[in-house]
Amino acid sequence: MKTITQDTIPSNTGRTYMVKKGQHIRVSGKSIVDFVPFAYPNLRERFDQSRTKAFHRRIFISTGDYLISKFNNPMLKIVEDTYKEGTHDLQRGTCNGRRWRMLEAQGAEALKPYAHRNITKLPDHGCWENLTEALKPYGVAAEDIPSPFNIFMTLEIDGKTGEMRDTTMRPKETAHVDMIAEMDCLLAISACPDMQVGGKDIDILLYEAD
Query: Quick check: 201 and 27 in contact, CB under 8 A?
Result: no
130-189 binders of another protein (CB under 8 A):
141-144, 147, 156-159, 162-165
Query: Quick check: 153 and 147 in contact, CB under 8 A?
Result: no
User: Which span (39-47, 116-124, 129-137, 175-183) binds another protein, by CB under 8 A?
Assistant: 39-47
Lay out the site mask for another protein across 46-75 (x = CB under 8 A, - = otherwise).
x-xxxx-xxxxxxxx---------xxx---
C-beta of 17 vs 38, nearer to another protein? 38
Q: How many residues bind another protein (CB under 8 A)?
A: 39
Q: Report the distance separating Cα 194 and Cα 131, nearest Å.
A: 15
Cis? peptide before 193, omega within 30° of 0: no
C-beta of 12 vs 52, nearer to another protein? 52
Q: Report the distance separating Cα 196 and Cα 167, nearest Å.
A: 7
Q: Is residue 26 part of the contact set for another protein (CB under 8 A)?
A: no
C-beta of 6 vs 136, nearer to another protein? 136
Q: Report the distance separating Cα 169 and Cα 171, nearest Å.
A: 7
Alpha-carbon distances, residue 173 vs 19, 41, 97, 176 (angstroms): 27, 36, 29, 10
Sites of contact with another protein (CB under 8 A) = 44-46, 48-51, 53-60, 70-72, 87, 91-93, 96, 98-99, 102, 141-144, 147, 156-159, 162-165
